[in-house]
Each structure stands twice: as C-alpha cells, then as structure tokens.
C-alpha cells in the first residue's frame, strides 16, 4: 500500500530521518523521506506500510516530540529503494530542537583511548549536542548554524553522509582535526587546557568556562575563600549558587533525592534541580534548605568534572544582567582565568532551574533544554500572528504562529537596559528563525513597563492584558483549557498593576462565558515605601501589624529597625505618603517572615524573605490560623494577631511558619468551596510566583483534591512572571478568535 505521511513536531535535529531510513529498510519498503518547513515528510510503498506507521509512533527516537501525524493514501508509486532527499527550502516552521545533553554512546567514545574522538570536548551525534543555541535560521542545517565556520574533514563528512551512521546529518558533527578547539588563558594562553583549569580552580580561583548558552563561573565549593571571591565578583551576598555534580552519587552525598528528582536530574534537558540539603557547605545557599544541583551536560563538563566531582557552576553575569556569551562582553572582569572555545553561541541561554513537587516539575527558570518546545493550542494556521512582550520582571516573550505558541527562554528584568537588549536580540532571532511578523502585540496593563512602551510604539494593534489574568491564562494555555469553560483562577504573586490602579497580587478570578472578573482579593494594606517595601520586608510587617492592631506592636524584626526610620514609615503610612495600597500575597509572606525575624532587614535577591520562611517551616504541623472572607475581601487580621501572640508566647518560628502556610492553603480551599457553592465551579487554576513555594503548592493541591476539586498547576512553564507572555498570547488569541 502506498502512503504519504506528514509528521509535525520537534522531529528535526533529533535523529528522526536515520530512524525512518532504518525502519523502512527493515520492513523492505520503498519510498523516500525529507525534512520540510513543517516537519518531516515520508512516502512508503510495500506490504508493511501500515506496520511502518505503527512502529514510527511507537519507536521514535527519545528526543523526538511528535505533535501530529497525518497519513494519506498516496498517488505516487514505483519508487526503487528508500532515499533520503535533501531538505527542501520553504516557509520556516516553529519547530527548532532544544539543546541536548551528551548521550551515553558519545560519552563512551569520549573516554575510549582507541576512538578517534578520545577526549575531544565537542563530540556529539544525531541524538545529542548543541541545537537551539547554535541555530541561526531554519530549517535546521549545518550551514545555518555557527558550525558553518568549521568545514568537515573527510572522516567526519563520511559519517555525516552515511544514512546508517549514528552521525548521519548530525549538524554539529566535528572532531579534533576539523572542529572547534578549547583554549585556556590565565596570564596568557596555556596548553593542557582542562588540566590547567582544574589546577587553577584548586588554587581557589574563579574560572569562566564557556558552555552551551553562555559562560559559567566555576570554583571549588569547599574553598570558602573562593566562594567569597565569587560573591564579590557577582555582587551577590547570599543568592544561592548552583552546583555541578559529576554524577548522581556525588549529588546524593550532599542532598536528599527521590526517584522523581533523580529522573529529572538525568533527563535530556539536564536542568538545575533544587534538592534538600544533607550537609551544609558554607556560603553556597545561606539560610535556604536546598541546593540547586545539575549534572554535566556537555563533553567538556564531563572532562572537567572527571577528577573534580563537585563544582560551583553559576551563570556568568553581573548582577541583574544577561548571561555572557562572548569574551568581549566583559568576562575578564568576572573571573581569574578563562576556559573557552571558538564555537560561537548564536543564542544565549541560561540553565533551567526547577524543583520537583509530587513528581511534577515546577519551573523557577525555564531556559536551556526546554526552549523552544512549541505549544499547540488547537488554533488553525490562519490565526493572526501575535507577539507577546510579557511583563517587567523575569520576563520572556511569546509568539503565536501557525497555531503554536513559542515562549522564549528567561530574559531577566526589563528595567536593566542589557536585559532589554537581550529581549531585542531574541526578537530579532525569532524573526529570522521563524520568519515571524506579528499582526498584533500584547503587553501588560502597567503604563510604565518597558515592554508596554515597546508595544505602544510598535505600530500594530495592541491588546493589553491585566497581569494576574495573564498568569491564570498561562496555566489555561498549557493545559489546553478553553477559556470559555468556567473556572476559578487563583493568582498569588508579588506585584502586578490592577484594574483599579492598586497593586494586586492576592487574587481570585471567576471565569465564565469567556469573561474573567475579580471575585475575591486579599484585603488592601498600604505598601509604605513603594518598591522599597519589596526590598525591606519589615515595612510590610509594620503595615500588617498596624492594620490588625490599630497601632504598632513591636514584633520580630521591627525590634531591629532604627527607631527613627520605623516612626517615619508609620507617619508616612498615616499620611498616605508613598503608600500605595496592595493586595499582594507575596508581601504577606514578607510580612510574616519579618514578624518571625526569619527575613533579613534588607533582602539580597527577589523572594529571599519568602524562601527563608518556607525553608524554616516545620514538617508535621497540621493546624492553621483563623481568617475571614467577607464580600470580595479576604481578611487576614485575625491570623496576624494570632501570629503576634504565638511569637510573644515563645512559639518557635518553624511551627508558626508551618501554621501560616497551612492557613494560606485553607484560604484557597475556602474560596474554592465558595465558588463551587455559588457558581458550581469545580475547576481551580493555581498561578503566580508564590506557587514556587513547594510547601504551599503541595498543601493546596492536597486540600483541593481531597475536597473533590479539579486543580490545574503550572508544569511546563513557570508559575511566575516568566509565563506572563504566554498567558497574554493565549488571552489575545481567544479574544481575536471571538472577534472574527
Ligand atoms: Zn551522542
Ligand atoms: Zn573531523
Ligand atoms: Fe506576577
């Protein structure tokens, strides 16, 4: 039987065509295959063509992601043998492959003295190696990657052209004769690059090491002086540093990990996984109960960790700016020595960071290994192209093209000019990569966001989406929930511009008939000091205490604040000077953290106060504090009074913290039950950066499930502001669809 098969999905650059070739030969089928702009096209003829289709689905290579297969009877017949045709040019697809960790076959060759690539740090094959970070345009082909600068030697070319070789069309294929090379600089260039780098690390110095999406700063985690030096270079007092462990056993020596966490560490994306500490290594993640650990994901990493099983490997960037990808971007000021190479990075990209909660991933940062991974949302190709510019902090952009949403890697805070340039870099890249030209632009409702101003200047129709509605829609998008279906959307985060001009962030939305209205919100309190209050959590403690008691009670951290400053803040609050109203849940976490003196007076990185509060929480405390839901308001004053009372009576911070977490979960349960009774809503969406708190997430999901409620949580995208652009795009797509 003659069949034409069209495969959509991430099927280029993952060893798909060689797999097709081998399968067709095994089943003695004639025909051909080729990469097209939309995926892979296959024509087969022979007795077993239907079996071929079945096995195609069942046995596809591990990194292929098939989105859709169309099988049609074919008019073509009479092919002789099975041929792989060259890639046809044409309109670009949205499917670019993500970067992949070094596979076990390549690792074996890397350490085999008889192999021609013995200890060659850029070994790769059709199943592994750099992809997204070296691609300049699509379809994926060597000529369109930064490997174009390295003409293949005859041996490499033979492998590349042989359909039965495991390097057939491995676009970054290379060897020591023809491919990229390492170099090492300390005081001038030195031979023996890897050995030299390790020697320098052992001396307590900081080495910048070029990886896939940029440079890492690497040092010895057990050398306190080296770690301090790294903190000085990065201008970070306490922000946790990621560790690279040679293998699972090394990770297990310093942290606890269960099966799911082990599987995640070993997954092809090789993310940084947050794991509970077993032993304390000074200065790595102070006051937090976890380490961020990753395994080696390039051959260079494998060689460097061979005899140095545990290293600090943190992104090389100056505070709040993008990861560096070229030496010229100032890498020398950040390091003592340089281990680099001459393969250019086309697209800078940080390591991804996630935690595993009840077997599922929660992204703290979605980047290398997970981008681009297009998300099909069931719209047809004819839908207008949308560009979503996201928010301000921890931003990303999303494009809608051909019915797929593509969300970029984490880009950082837009207030910093270098991050804004990074956004422009990615935007330009996507225009080339995806031949993308937007017809609509979306952005946040906030009038002063960098991205809002960019959207307004674009010259195309702009759809503005309220911050927390975008949070909820991001989760609807990844679960393919039609926004026309009824839902209760919970959006808990630090800050977002509200429709009434106040700062929102503890929000419950009612979604019905495609409309989203604010149902409940945390009672407003003044955020005295404005943005300063996000960096000085004691200000929120003061605000909540005054709201609950009607006067100042000296609780926790307030005792450490300079009296004049404290009084000044109190007076300003009374006179409503620099005291915008907020319903932010993130700020409530800050307040409680400060009431328990768990928070520092001034934080070093976003959410430090909340993370410390979570880290300190005791494991087995069941009870929670009282609260009230009145009209549209969630009133936590009784809880604040109870916490102050507990603290005064000498109850421990771990117990109070845990009771507080339980209380917030119960607030969500109460709101969900209210929505169910009043509006017959059974579906609850959890969104917003507060749900990066795994304790809260786990408690909430358990409570809601036990109550028979359907819970949707962010799994493929971050709960935080990284997902805003995704939510905006999904919101606008449906709004525009309705308008048609
Ligand atoms: Zn490989
Ligand atoms: Zn070669
Ligand atoms: Fe947010």
Given a cut of 60, whether residue 91 has pLDDT beyond it is: no
Q: How far is the CA of 650 from the centre of ligand 2 (A)?
A: 69
pLDDT value for 28 = 95
Q: How far is the CA of 718 from the centre of ligand 1 (A)?
A: 29
Query: Helix, strand, coil % (nearest 5) of the chain?
Result: 35, 25, 40
Q: How far is the CA of 684 from the centre of ligand 3 (A)?
A: 18
Q: How far is the CA of 126 from the centre of ligand 1 (A)?
A: 6
Q: How far is the CA of 110 from the centre of ligand 2 (A)?
A: 14
Exposed/middle/buried for residue 710 (C-beta within 10 Å: 0-12, 13-18, 19+)? middle
pLDDT value for 90 = 59
Q: Which ligand is nearest to the CA of 181?
A: 2
Q: How far is the CA of 175 from the centre of ligand 2 (A)?
A: 4
Q: How far is the CA of 117 from the centre of ligand 2 (A)?
A: 9
Q: How far is the CA of 147 from the centre of ligand 2 (A)?
A: 12
Sheet holding 398-401, edge to edge: 375-376, 404-407, 398-401, 386-388, 440-444, 462-465
Q: How far is the CA of 536 from the centre of ligand 1 (A)?
A: 49
pLDDT value for 740 = 46
Q: What is the token pair recorded at 5?
A: 């098969």
Closest alpha carbon to 617 in 562, 548, 664: 664
Q: How far is the CA of 103 from the centre of ligand 1 (A)?
A: 4
Q: How far is the CA of 640 from the centre of ligand 3 (A)?
A: 24
CA-CA-CA-CA dihedral for 164, 166, 170, 175, to nearest 10: -120
Given a cut of 60, whether residue 739 has pLDDT beyond it is: no
Q: How far is the CA of 702 from the centre of ligand 1 (A)?
A: 41
Q: Which ligand is nearest to the CA of 151?
A: 2
Q: Which ligand is nearest to the CA of 110?
A: 1
Q: How far is the CA of 352 from the centre of ligand 1 (A)?
A: 21
pLDDT digits (tens, 9 = 90+) for 237-259: 999 999 999 999 999 999 999 99
Average pLDDT over residues 217-238: 96
Q: Which ligand is nearest to the CA of 120?
A: 2
Q: Which ligand is nearest to the CA of 126?
A: 1
Q: How far is the CA of 673 from the centre of ligand 1 (A)?
A: 51
By the 8 A CB rule, do 596 and 653 touch? yes
Q: Which ligand is nearest to the CA of 607?
A: 3
Q: How far is the CA of 79 from the centre of ligand 3 (A)?
A: 57
| C-alpha torsion sign, points 379, 385, 389, 395 | positive
Q: What span, in angstroms and rounded, lies between the C-alpha atoms of 567 and 552? A: 10
Q: How far is the CA of 305 from the centre of ligand 2 (A)?
A: 25
Residue for token pair 């809601």: 704
Residue for token pair 């995806």: 434
Q: Which ligand is nearest to the CA of 108?
A: 1
Q: Which ligand is nearest to the CA of 692?
A: 3
Q: How far is the CA of 497 from the centre of ligand 3 (A)?
A: 9
Q: What is the token pair recorded at 206?
A: 């900081």
Q: How far is the CA of 341 from the centre of ligand 2 (A)?
A: 16
Closest alpha carbon to 498 in 476, 521, 532: 521
pLDDT, the chain, mean: 95
Confidence class for position 8, pLDDT limits 50, 70, 90: confident
pLDDT digits (tens, 9 = 90+) for 593-604: 999 999 999 999
Q: What are the CA-CA distances from residue 466 to residues 230, 442, 503, 506, 688 (Å)? A: 39, 11, 11, 14, 13
Q: Which ligand is nearest to the CA of 472?
A: 3
Q: Please indicate, yes or no, whether the overall pTM of this predicted structure exceeds 0.85.
A: yes
Q: How far is the CA of 451 from the centre of ligand 3 (A)?
A: 14
Q: What span, in angstroms and rounded, lies between the C-alpha atoms of 566 and 496? A: 26
Q: How far is the CA of 166 from the centre of ligand 1 (A)?
A: 8
Confidence class for position 94, pLDDT limits 50, 70, 90: low
pLDDT value for 11 = 85
pLDDT digits (tens, 9 = 90+) for 27-71: 999 999 987 766 789 999 999 999 999 999 999 988 888 888 999
Q: How far is the CA of 679 from the centre of ligand 1 (A)?
A: 54
Q: What span, in angstroms and rounded, lies between the C-alpha atoms of 611 and 720? A: 14
Q: Which positions ≥6 away from 104 have C-beta within 8 Å?
A: none
Given a cut of 80, whether residue 738 has pLDDT beyond it is: no
Q: How far is the CA of 82 from the centre of ligand 3 (A)?
A: 53
pLDDT value for 88 = 64
Average pLDDT over residues 393-408: 94
Can you tell me whether residue 301 is helix, strand or coil?
Answer: helix
Confidence class for position 553, pLDDT limits 50, 70, 90: very high
Q: How far is the CA of 162 from the centre of ligand 1 (A)?
A: 16
Q: Which ligand is nearest to the CA of 504?
A: 3
Closest alpha carbon to 160 in 142, 181, 148: 142
Q: How far is the CA of 179 from the centre of ligand 2 (A)?
A: 6
Q: How far is the CA of 700 from the centre of ligand 3 (A)?
A: 19
Average pLDDT over residues 609-619: 97
Confidence class for position 614, pLDDT limits 50, 70, 90: very high
pLDDT digits (tens, 9 = 90+) for 108-126: 999 999 999 999 999 999 9
Given a cut of 80, whether residue 304 has pLDDT beyond it is: yes
pLDDT digits (tens, 9 = 90+) for 658-706: 999 999 999 999 999 999 999 999 999 999 999 999 999 999 999 999 9
Q: Which ligand is nearest to the CA of 101?
A: 1
pLDDT value for 54 = 95
Confidence class for position 270, pLDDT limits 50, 70, 90: very high
pLDDT digits (tens, 9 = 90+) for 501-549: 999 999 999 999 889 999 999 999 999 999 999 999 999 999 999 999 9
Q: Which ligand is nearest to the CA of 127?
A: 1
pLDDT value for 164 = 85
Q: How far is the CA of 208 from the centre of ligand 2 (A)?
A: 27
Note residues around ion ligand 1 (Cβ under 5 angstroms).
103, 106, 125, 127-128
**DSSP element (H, E) containing 419:** helix 417-434
Q: How far is the CA of 156 from the centre of ligand 2 (A)?
A: 4
């Amino acid at each position: 039987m003659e069949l034409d098969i069209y495969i959509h999905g991430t099927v280029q650059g993952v060893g798909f065509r060689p797999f097709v070739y081998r399968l067709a030969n095994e089943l003695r089928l004639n025909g051909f295959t080729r990469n097209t702009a939309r995926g892979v096209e296959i024509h087969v003829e022979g007795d077993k063509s239907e079996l071929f289709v079945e096995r195609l689905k069942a046995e596809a290579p591990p990194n292929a992601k098939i989105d859709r297969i169309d099988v049609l009877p074919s008019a073509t017949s009479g092919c002789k043998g099975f041929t792989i045709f060259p890639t046809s040019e044409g309109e670009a697809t949205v499917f670019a492959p993500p970067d992949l960790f070094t596979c076990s076959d390549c690792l074996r060759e890397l350490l085999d003295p008889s192999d021609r690539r013995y200890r060659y740090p850029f070994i790769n094959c059709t199943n592994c190696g750099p992809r997204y970070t070296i691609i300049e345009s699509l379809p994926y082909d060597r000529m369109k990657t930064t490997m174009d600068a390295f003409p293949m030697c005859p041996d490499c070319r033979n492998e590349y052209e042989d359909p039965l070789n495991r390097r057939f069309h491995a676009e970054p294929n290379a060897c020591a004769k023809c491919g990229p090379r390492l170099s090492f600089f300390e005081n001038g260039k030195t031979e023996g690059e890897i050995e030299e780098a390790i020697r320098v690390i052992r001396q307590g110095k900081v080495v910048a090491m070029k990886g896939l999406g940029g440079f890492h700063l690497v040092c010895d985690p057990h050398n306190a002086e080296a770690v301090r030096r790294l903190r000085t270079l990065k201008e970070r007092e306490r922000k946790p540093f990621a560790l690279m462990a040679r293998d699972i056993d090394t990770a297990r020596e310093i942290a606890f990990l269960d099966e799911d966490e082990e599987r995640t560490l070993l997954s092809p994306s090789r993310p940084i996984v947050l794991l509970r500490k077993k032993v304390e290594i000074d200065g790595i993640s102070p006051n937090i109960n976890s380490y961020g650990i990753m395994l080696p994901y390039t051959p260079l990493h494998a060689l460097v960790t061979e005899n140095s099983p545990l290293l600090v490997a943190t992104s090389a960037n100056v505070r709040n700016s993008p990861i560096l990808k070229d030496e010229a971007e100032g890498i020398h000021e950040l390091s003592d020595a340089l281990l680099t190479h001459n393969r250019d990075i086309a697209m800078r990209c940080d390591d991804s960071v996630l935690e595993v909660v009840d077997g599922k991933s929660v992204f703290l940062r979605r980047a290398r290994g997970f981008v681009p991974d297009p998300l099909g949302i069931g719209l047809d190709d004819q839908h207008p192209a949308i560009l979503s510019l996201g928010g301000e902090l921890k931003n990303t952009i999303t494009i809608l093209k051909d019915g797929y949403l593509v969300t970029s890697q984490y880009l950082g805070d837009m207030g910093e000019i270098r991050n804004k340039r990074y956004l422009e870099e990615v935007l330009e890249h996507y225009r080339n990569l995806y031949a993308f030209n937007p017809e609509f632009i979306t952005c946040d409702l906030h009038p002063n966001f960098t991205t809002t101003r960019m959207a307004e200047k674009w010259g195309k129709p702009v759809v503005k989406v309220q911050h927390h509605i975008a949070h909820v829609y991001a989760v609807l998008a990844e679960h393919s929930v039609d926004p026309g279906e009824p839902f209760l959307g919970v959006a808990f985060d630090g800050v977002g511009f509200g429709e009434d001009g106040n700062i929102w962030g503890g929000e419950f939305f009612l979604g019905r008939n495609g409309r989203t209205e604010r149902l409940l919100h945390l009672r407003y309190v003044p955020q005295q000091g404005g943005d300063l209050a996000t960096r000085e959590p004691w200000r929120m403690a003061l605000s909540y205490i005054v709201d609950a008691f009607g006067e100042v009670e000296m609780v926790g951290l307030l005792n450490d604040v300079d009296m004049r400053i404290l009084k000044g803040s109190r007076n300003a609050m009374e006179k409503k000077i620099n005291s915008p109203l907020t319903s932010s849940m993130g700020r409530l976490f800050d307040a409680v953290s400060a009431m328990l003196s768990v928070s520092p007076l001034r934080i070093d990185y976003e959410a430090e106060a909340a993370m410390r509060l979570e880290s300190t929480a005791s494991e087995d405390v069941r009870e929670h504090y009282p609260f009230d839901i009145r009209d549209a308001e969630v009133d936590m004053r009784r809880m604040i009074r109870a916490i102050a009372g507990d603290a005064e009576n000498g109850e421990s911070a771990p117990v109070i913290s845990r009771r507080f977490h339980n209380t917030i979960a119960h607030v969500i349960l109460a709101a969900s039950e209210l929505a169910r009774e009043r509006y017959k809503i059974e579906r609850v969406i959890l969104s917003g950066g507060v749900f990066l708190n795994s304790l809260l997430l786990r408690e909430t999901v358990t409570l809601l499930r036990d109550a028979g409620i359907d819970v949707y949580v962010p799994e493929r995208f971050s709960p935080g502001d990284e997902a805003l652009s995704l939510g905006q795009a999904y919101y606008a797509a449906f709004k525009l669809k309705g308008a048609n």
